[in-house]
Structure 1
């Protein structure tokens, strides 16, 4: 029978993973992907580098998870704007305004999500990101 972690252990591991991701979000928002080394993320989270590797198999997995975390927030905000009552033109305008205002509020993060050279795993996730935004406007 395969080993199953007790719920308390799994909750602790999940909390650490979330802590690492939130530290990575803060770091990326300040410094972009270039500043998101595993050591820098660990320092931002207040944990050891080895602890990061207990949550993520490597930098590629961490970079992709970071990207997905941020994109989920952006897509949710734009989707909420597009779902507001109004004409199709008003809804599209609201979604575009939300997208643009969020990018202007956090330009470093916007550049990282849209165009900054990053790990190939992030480039793959960017295609998913573009499809998600396309679906909002479809």
Structure 2
């Protein structure tokens, strides 16, 4: 009979994955992608380095997950700003989006640099293109 994870085991693994992602997000905001080593993420999450690999194949896969998580939030924020009922003209929508984007970037400049310009793994660069299209669609 094949092994099946019990709900309790799955819940523990899900919680551990969440703590890995949160630890990595903190490192990303403080040190950029360069600071998000698997060892540093594991140390911050309070788990063994090998446990990170239970959830992610390596730093590249973790970096893509971080990028999707954070940029997804940013796209949602600028989409909300663009869709505000008080912004009737295209110019008002553009101003709202740029203000929202800029204010969020100024609150966490290291994170903004990591998301927009820091040299990264090609897999993250590919995700940048996907999300640039999503930002473009906010203006459409």
CA distance 1:98–1:7, shift in 2 (3 Å) = same
Taking structure 1 as the reference length, the TM-score comes to 0.93
Q: Which deviations, in whole Å up to 9, do the C-alpha atoms of 1:22-46 show, x marking residues without a partner?
A: 1111101110111110001111111
Note the residue ranges of structure 2 that are not aligned, 5 or more in a row. Answer: none
Q: Which ranges of 4 or more aligned residues in structure 1 deviate by more than 6 Å?
A: none
Q: Which residue of 2 aligns with 1:40?
A: 40
Is 2:106 aligned against 1:104?
yes
Query: What SS does the corresponding residue of 1:118 show, helix, strand or coil?
Result: coil
Q: Which residue of 1 aligns with 2:125?
A: 123
Aligned pairs, number? 138
Q: Report the aligned-residue RMSD.
A: 1.5
CA offset at residue 2 of structure 1?
6.8
Is 2:20 aligned against 1:16?
no
Tell me the distance in 2 between the aligned counterparts of 1:2 and 1:64.
31
Taking structure 2 as the reference length, the TM-score comes to 0.92
Is 2:81 aligned against 1:95?
no
Note the residue ranges of structure 1 that are not aligned, 5 or more in a row. Answer: none
Tell me the distance in 2 between the aligned counterparts of 1:135 and 1:17.
31
